[in-house]
Amino acid sequence: MTTVREPATTRPANAARGFNTPSPTQTAGRYLLLVLVLLLVIGPFLWQLSTSLKGATEDVYTRTPNFLPDQPTLGNYGTVADTIPVWTYALNSLIVAAVCITGNVVGCTLAGYALARLRFRGAKLVLGLFLATLVLPGEVTIVSQYVLVRGLGLADSLAGVALPGAIAMLNVLLMRTAFAAVPVELDQAALVDGANVWQRLWHIGLPNVRGMLSVIVIFTFIGAWDDFLWPLIVLTDPQKYTLTVGLQYLNGTFSANPRLIAAGTMIAFLPIVVVFGICQRFFFKGVEEGAVKG
């Protein structure tokens, strides 16, 4: 590819476009690279989608890959539901996610506000303990969490799957940080007007932490919907499986028909894509402003 040196006369126009403006060739190169990476990232998903739409008579093992199904059919989505109760599994995952979202939104908001805005004896110790849990990877305590859940009589139940994560320690700390960033003068003004704690939390705190709350909702949903290890340990009855455990069950137990597994993975994958697609603007807005820190 040859780069054309722009004649000096175009200099002002170039300057008007701003510092370091790329040439059309550079831009084209950038798009070419972007599309290449896109194929690498999205390709496997599309291949799986394509497999899930191929009929029973179409050979899925051909050496020359056939990306477009000859006769696209949704039949595999029906067949997978006959093999495993896939819609019950989806509902189970949804129930777990709903419990976790509710618990985290309510529990972490209340605790985050108390830790950020109210002065009380022992606050420092409590905060320190919340922080200390962060060095514990979840897998380290998973065995004794199972023993605990079993002791509570919740082994092999969705409640047992949902309960431990219903208030996540990290989210408490995130909400505390969000509330601490709200100007304290707002609170003081409300206090002068005679507002009590609940009113200050509801009318001054909450409207200012909506961004953090939506991030917590999105990631709690994704975390609960995608989780595998914990439900795999807690659940034994195949009727109670969540989607991820059910998919592995389908993969491991039934002589694998790639079309059915593909249909199953799409049922687990597409809701996440839709949720993230709707919410992504919250997410990347923060990134753009340099607000997200590792």
Nearest to 205 by CA among 196, 217, 216: 196
Q: Is 82 in the site for other proteins (CB under 8 A)?
A: no
Residue 254 near other proteins by CB under 8 A: no
CB of 200 to other proteins, least distance (A): 7
27, 189, 239, 278: which one binds other proteins (CB under 8 A):
27
CA distance linking residue 264 with residue 41, whole number of Å: 20
Binding letters toward other proteins, positions 196-225, x by CB under 8 A: xx--xx--------------------x--x
* Interaction of residue 80 with other proteins, rule CB under 8 A: no
Q: Report, in Å, the least distance between residue 202 CB and other proteins.
A: 12
Q: Count how many Cα atoms sit within 13 Å of the Cα of residue 12 in the half-sphere of its side chain.
A: 1
Site size for other proteins (CB under 8 A): 102
For position 37 contacting other proteins by CB under 8 A, the verdict is: yes
> What is the residue whose two structure tokens read 């199972």?
146
Q: Which stretch binds other proteins (CB under 8 A): 1-9, 81-89, 139-147, 207-215?
A: 139-147
- The count of residues in the chain is 294
Contact yes or no for 178/191 (Cβ under 8 A): no
- Is residue 117 near other proteins by the rule CB under 8 A? yes
Distance CA 171, CA 18 (A): 41
Q: Which of 55, 214, 258, 282 binds other proteins (CB under 8 A)?
A: 258
Span of 2-10, 57-65, 77-85, 208-216 interacting with other proteins by CB under 8 A: 57-65
The DSSP result for 79-139, as a single string, is: HHHHHS-HHHHHHHHHHHHHHHHHHHHHHHHHHHHHHHH---TTHHHHHHHHHHGGGS-GG
